[in-house]
Structure 1
Amino acid sequence: MTDTTLKATAAASGASATERFLTDKTGSPSRTADTARVNTLATAVITAVHDVIRTHRATYEEYNALKSWLISVGQDGEWPLFLDVWIEHVVEEVAAADRKGSKGTIEGPYYVPGAPALPGTAALPMRDGEPGTPLLFQGQVTSASGEPLPGALLEMWQADDDGLYAQFAPGIPEWNLRGTVVADDQGGFAVTTVQPAPYQIPTDGSCGRLVAAAGWHPWRPAHLHLKVSAPGHETLTTQLYFKGGAYVDDDVASAVKPELVLDPTPSAGGVAEVTYDFVLDKA
């Protein structure tokens, strides 16, 4: 592992994720909360906790350990990490229950809006000699009725060969392996990048202590992130994984779906190629 990897601490990553969430997700005027919905959801969550305590006869020692851990999650800035890893996949499942087009999955904590615009055939910004297997990722964006969606946007972001994300780990250029690809007049795209590596969620903070205490593993499989959008259509947020890759079958974030697994084919020059099309639902 590189010095950069060693410096990507849970505290730094958690702080970055929290700051980014507060900027991007809560910066717009909020809607007035529906009191009835708040009552229903909050009561259900609290009641579920009560049921766990009664069912498993939790002790005061265990209660105080939980209390201490919840405080440390906030101090470490790891609420985005905890919620995105263990909770978001169920929210996404409910939100996408009626989707007819391509499958989506969780966004995760590492999305950054405003990535540089790129033409439909392009390479993601990367360092000279960027480590990793070169990958040509190509396909077409269409509507549910099969019509091409010219100018569709594919926001792409991914970890590098060390499992690190630009803007969340030190020493990496700001937009490394991040870009907004503008599909051609037939909705087509062909993006050159590198295959990302699996990565651990940060383990030196509160979430890592939970993983260790429960005997879980902290790994996510290698994946490409995308947000695919077009006027008049619902935005699709998804992740694409790699067949046979480590942790595809036991992702710590439970975000893998069979429809999201790529199977690249080696081609001349050591470049892996894969075609994957996106179908967007009407808004």
Structure 2
Amino acid sequence: MTATHSPTAAASGANATERFKSDKFAGVEGTPPERVSLLAREVLEAVHATIRKHKVTYEEYNALKSWLISVGEDGEWPLFLDVWVEHVVEDVATEHRQGNKGTIEGPYYVPDAPEQGARGSIPTRDNEPGTALTWTGQVTSTTGAALGGAKVELWHADADGLYSQFAPDIPEWNLRGTFTTDDEGRFEIHTVRPAPYQIPTDGACGKLIAAAGWHAWRPAHLHVKVSAPGHELLTAQLYFPGDEHNDDDIASAVKPELLLAPQPSGDGETIEYNFVLDPAL
């Protein structure tokens, strides 16, 4: 592992919180009170059952209360929920699909990354660290039809495990791009191989990790969102074989279907990975 530097919890948490509040909440407006009551009551009942089962003490309760306050003060609710809860929501939301498997979005997605065409390079700094990576693929429907004009949004961490717009001194759109497939649904992307990284550990989430004796590592991965008219949006992360944390990812987001198969090529690597999208319900 080489990526040991990470943005502060406060800085990345504040950015993720503000972005989440601005573009995510509208989707649940108008939820019936009965649905809200059902979910809230069952979550609380699960907490109550844990307290009774394990005879939680007042000292432990007060420590939990203090820690929950810290999660909010550090702006880490998006990080906490995306790392330890989102993978189950994703499983439930996509269990009906016949096409590609997806996984969590994570807290670092930014919409409207610059368009690069069907064949292009993701924006990078001069001499961007990392092994050159060329990715070719095709987007099709479960019907077998090629999906020309499909969007492949790609973003990933740099060689230090940092994301643009969530860490200082990185250009706004570094390692973020949108690619649009050609008439045959094909694309070719030039980027660099990302590094494994630790999630921020200097805030409340880090305190939980330390207290529980867990690790904070995520395996190296490429984030994607793939979309086409009349089809369901696919959100996924693609992983590299041999990473020591593929089997114990802190976010529990790795699936066998999401593992890549890089091949050496010149001074870099090539990968081929295709997407099959489900028609919209």
**Which TM-score applies when normalising by structure 2?**
0.97
String of CA shifts for 1:210-237, please: whole Å, max 9, x gaps: 0000000001000000000000000000
Alignment identity in percent? 66
String of CA shifts for 1:78-129, please: whole Å, max 9, x gaps: 0000000000000000000101100000000000001001111100000110
Query: Paired residue for 2:75?
Result: 77
CA distance in 1, matches of 2:143, 2:112: 30
String of CA shifts for 1:113-149, please: whole Å, max 9, x gaps: 0100111110000011000010011100000011100
One-letter code aligned to 2:165: Q
String of CA shifts for 1:142-169, please: whole Å, max 9, x gaps: 0001110001000110000000000000
Offset at 1:273? 0.4
One-letter code aligned to 2:275: F
One-letter code aligned to 2:179: V
Offset at 1:25? 1.3
Query: Paired residue for 1:105?
Result: 103
CA distance in 1, matches of 2:85, 2:154: 23
Query: Paired residue for 1:281?
Result: 278
Q: State the aligned residue count.
A: 279
Query: Paired residue for 2:12?
Result: 13
CA distance in 2, matches of 1:54, 1:32: 35
CA distance in 2, matches of 1:243, 1:60: 45
One-letter code aligned to 1:179: G
CA distance in 1, matches of 2:201, 2:246: 20
Offset at 1:180? 0.7
One-letter code aligned to 1:156: L
One-letter code aligned to 1:47: E
One-letter code aligned to 2:277: L
Structure 1: runs of 5 or more not aligned: none
Please give the residue correspondences for 1:200-239 in structure 2 after superposition, counting only pairs within 5 Å: 200-239=198-237
Please give the residue correspondences for 1:254-273 in structure 2 after superposition, counting only pairs within 5 Å: 254-268=252-266, 270-273=267-270
CA distance in 1, matches of 2:28, 2:50: 33
Query: Paired residue for 1:31?
Result: 29
The question of whether the paired residues in 2 share the 8 Å contact of 1:198 and 1:246 is answered with no
CA distance in 1, matches of 2:103, 2:50: 28
Query: Paired residue for 1:141?
Result: 139
Query: Paired residue for 2:55?
Result: 57
Query: Paired residue for 1:163?
Result: 161
**C-alpha root-mean-square deviation of aligned residues, in Å?**
1.5
Q: Secondary structure at the match of 1:118?
A: coil
Structure 2: runs of 5 or more not aligned: none
Offset at 1:31? 2.5
One-letter code aligned to 1:61: E
Runs ≥4 residues deviating over 2 A: 28-31
